[in-house]
Structure 1
Amino acid sequence: MSQCKPMKQLIVIIFLVQVSIFKLSAQEQQKIAFGPYIQQMSMEDAAVTWSTLEGEVIVTDGNGKNDTIRDYKQHKVYMANLEPNTTYSYDVLNDGTDEGKGTLTTYPEKSVPFNFVAIGDTRSRNNVHKKIIEQVQKVNPRFIVNSGDLVANGLSMKDWESFFEINEDFMRNTPYYPVLGNHEKDSPYYYDFFDLPNNERYYYFTVGDALFVVLDSEGLRTTIPAFTSDEMKDAYWHESGIDYMKTQKKWLEEVLKLNRQAGFIFIFQHLPLYSVKKSRVAESKMVREFWGDIFKRHGVQAFINGHDHHYHHAKDNGVHFITSAGAGAPLYDIDAVQPETVSYKKIEHFMNIEVNEKDAVLHVIDIDGNEFDTIKVKRRKTK
């Protein structure tokens, strides 16, 4: 008589996640959480936006560990019929406190000297990000452009809370222009917090006779499915958003033609066209081939990007290609200097850019306030 083999027991462990939603009192909801800060600045118009805490979600895992995720409500006020190159005070609360107060200065209608700041990859090291912003405030820029990866994870509200805590005093008086990076993850939070021109993904604005164009190098990319082979990943990544990128390229051609009388043109995007990080050289070449000679043909003076966490200056066909990504993310080694490379340094930094009557001077400044590189570009010859 044969014995029956014992059946193996299948043990299934189910982790229950409990979600609790708490509504705040009216008094708690009125308190400003982020801001106020300035968006949509122009010669005659501006927007002031701020966030209030709407509620909290408590997420409890199977081990009883709690995590609090806050929900915020956005508020925006648009101001019209302002005078060019004029400073205004505002108060979104008008309650006798300084909590809702700030100042804004409209852009000039004529070509007058001004300065702005370019930074990149503020991301994860909040202590570095904070020190960089402290140095930025000393040069009192007209506005700031962040070339992407503002936070470590665009889907994490806690990362955005840290970002706004660091920039609170600065942003209430200075317009802030962001660029979509890969770490933004195309998050709805990005579009909630920032009120940007055009379609918000890529856009442009002008100050005096200087043109500023922000591009989206990430595109409408989706998460690569797990079943995709390693051989197919590059093709999937490229082809998933190629139509979107072609539409953006056509838009850029039209913008550059329309603004052909601009004295200065600055282009911003997250991905570099020239990388000195060996593992990213091939990717940067693909990006460069996609854009082709568009920057040269239209007389762009400076192309500023992030993504590679260091400083790198390359020059090709009269265009300065500058990687400025040392404002918070861990720094990268430089291991693939290119023929177009002019200078480079593994260092935390930002750029203070002075736009003058005949030229623009790009001052590259380290975290301690010391200038370690300087780039000069001449005003474009326009018809």
Structure 2
Amino acid sequence: MQKLLFLLLLSTTAIVVAQEKQKIAFGPYIQQMGTKDATICWSTLESTPTITDQEGNVKTIGEYKHHKIHLGELEPNTTYNYDVLNDGSDEGKGTLTTYPDEAIPFNFAVTGDSRNRHDVHAKIVAKIMETNPRFIINSGDLVANGRSISDWEAFFEVNKEFMKNTPYYPVLGNHEKDSPYYYDLFDLPNNEKYYYFTVGDALFIVLDSEGKQISQPEFVSDKNSDAFWRDAFSEYFTTQKKWLEQVLELNKEAGFVFIFQHKPLYSAMKNRMAEAEETRKFWGDIFERHKVQVFLNGHDHHYHRATKNGVHYITSAGAGAPLYDIEVELPETKKSSKIEHFVNVQINKKNAFLYVTDINGNEIETIEIKRRK
């Protein structure tokens, strides 16, 4: 079914401003898709402040105004054309398809650590677009520096054509730096740091492995450094863990459960193995106990899959950041590869297939997941 939907700018002031003020800088792009609702976001350039260093070098910084409109009373599994400018141009146009209200086959994409090699990121996005996913989840470190607006300008330029037609769900990584830009640019469920959504009878949970952006004061000694970081976030992560337990219990009849966070529970890098072990101790048996099938993360710039007690722990971080060597093969390791890649997940009525594909379209591996009983 195809329906036509025009989204009009309500402010009459916007009609009389200069043409360059009307031009869309980021977007339009789709957020918070549902079976009967959706959100469309876009940003316009408002001003160009400058900052000058002591040598007289001038840097121009874009200041953007962010817009969003919430759409309701839509029909499930239905395609709509939208136009946020409605000015006769193609600039504000896109297409959205609402999620189905029943368990039908669909696919989605997973990528991670797109960061700063924009040519690689663009190739990965082009390959993902060929699979025509219902949505995409990026497992964190979307940009190199979340507090640099120029990094976000590059990110949205690479994803421009993709995001106008496909919902984009981000995960907070350490490179996002808990930036206000992240919360301005994305419109996400719950508290935006950790959230969940459903499609058909599949449950998707996004966790925050980073916490709030803080710095350790210079006066904190090495002896007290570990305690400083542990105590800084203990309440935050304990609250998040209780929330996760409740979400998994509320959605215990879901056929598939996918969980995402930035940092891994099983790391194939020597200097990150201890942190991954601490993370596993914190979460305990929560994923196994609730029969989570797949835990996906980024952070380690390669592909790595470990399995334990029925849970697949997959590191997918090959969308643009410099690649890391596979330094360790863990007892739980099933497959690893130092390669740029993405994951195309096809969900059917009885099972799901994860097609791990490299930047050239070659298959790294295919994983079959059975529907939960």
TM-score by length of structure 2 reads: 0.95
Which of these residues, 266, 272, 283, is aligned with residue 264 of structure 2? 272
Q: Is the 8 A contact 2:318 2:339 kept in 1?
A: yes
Which of these residues, 101, 104, 107, is aligned with residue 109 of structure 1? 101
Counterpart position of 1:198:
190
Which of these residues, 269, 277, 281, is aligned with residue 273 of structure 2? 281
| SS at 2:159 equivalent | helix
Hey, which bits of structure 1, 4+ residues long, moved more than 4 A? Answer: none
Q: Is the 8 A contact 1:221 1:240 kept in 2?
A: no
1:99-248 aligned at under 5 Å gives the runs 99-248=91-240
Counterpart position of 1:304:
296
Counterpart position of 2:342:
350
Counterpart position of 2:371:
379
Counterpart position of 1:81:
73
User: What's the CA shift for 1:221?
Assistant: 4.4
- Residues in 1 aligned to 2:323 and 2:291: alpha-carbon distance in whole angstroms: 32
Task: Describe the superposition over 1:57-76 as per-residue Cα deviations: whole angstroms up to 9, x where unpaired.
Answer: 11111111010001000011
1:28-39 aligned at under 5 Å gives the runs 28-39=20-31
| SS at 2:55 equivalent | coil
Matched, 1:317 2:309: yes
Task: Describe the superposition over 1:237-294 as per-residue Cα deviations: whole angstroms up to 9, x where unpaired.
Answer: 2221110000000000000000000000000000100000000000000011100000
Task: Describe the superposition over 1:109-166 as per-residue Cα deviations: whole angstroms up to 9, x where unpaired.
Answer: 0000000000000011111111100100000100000000000000000000000000
| SS at 2:273 equivalent | helix
Task: Describe the superposition over 1:77-131 as per-residue Cα deviations: whole angstroms up to 9, x where unpaired.
Answer: 1110100000000001111111000000000000000000000000111111111
Tell me how many residue pairs correspond in the alignment: 357
Kindly provide the amino acid, as one letter, of the partner of residue 277 in structure 2.
K
Matched, 1:370 2:357: no
Q: Is the 8 A contact 2:25 2:43 kept in 1?
A: yes
Q: Is the 8 A contact 2:177 2:213 kept in 1?
A: no
Matched, 1:47 2:39: yes
Matched, 1:262 2:251: no
Is the deviation greater in 100-109 or in 235-244? Answer: 235-244
- Residues in 2 aligned to 1:125 and 1:166: alpha-carbon distance in whole angstroms: 11
Kindly provide the amino acid, as one letter, of the partner of residue 184 in structure 2.
D
Q: Give me the CA root mean square deviation.
A: 0.8
Q: Is the 8 A contact 1:221 1:237 kept in 2?
A: no
Q: Give unpaired runs (5+ residues) of structure 1.
A: 1-24
Q: Is the 8 A contact 1:274 1:281 kept in 2?
A: yes
- Residues in 2 aligned to 1:168 and 1:75: alpha-carbon distance in whole angstroms: 16
Kindly provide the amino acid, as one letter, of the partner of residue 209 in structure 2.
S
User: What's the CA shift for 1:303?
Assistant: 0.1
User: What's the CA shift for 1:233?
Assistant: 2.6
Q: Is the 8 A contact 1:221 1:241 kept in 2?
A: no
Q: Is the 8 A contact 1:360 1:378 kept in 2?
A: yes
Kindly provide the amino acid, as one letter, of the partner of residue 118 in structure 2.
N
- Residues in 2 aligned to 1:221 and 1:317: alpha-carbon distance in whole angstroms: 34
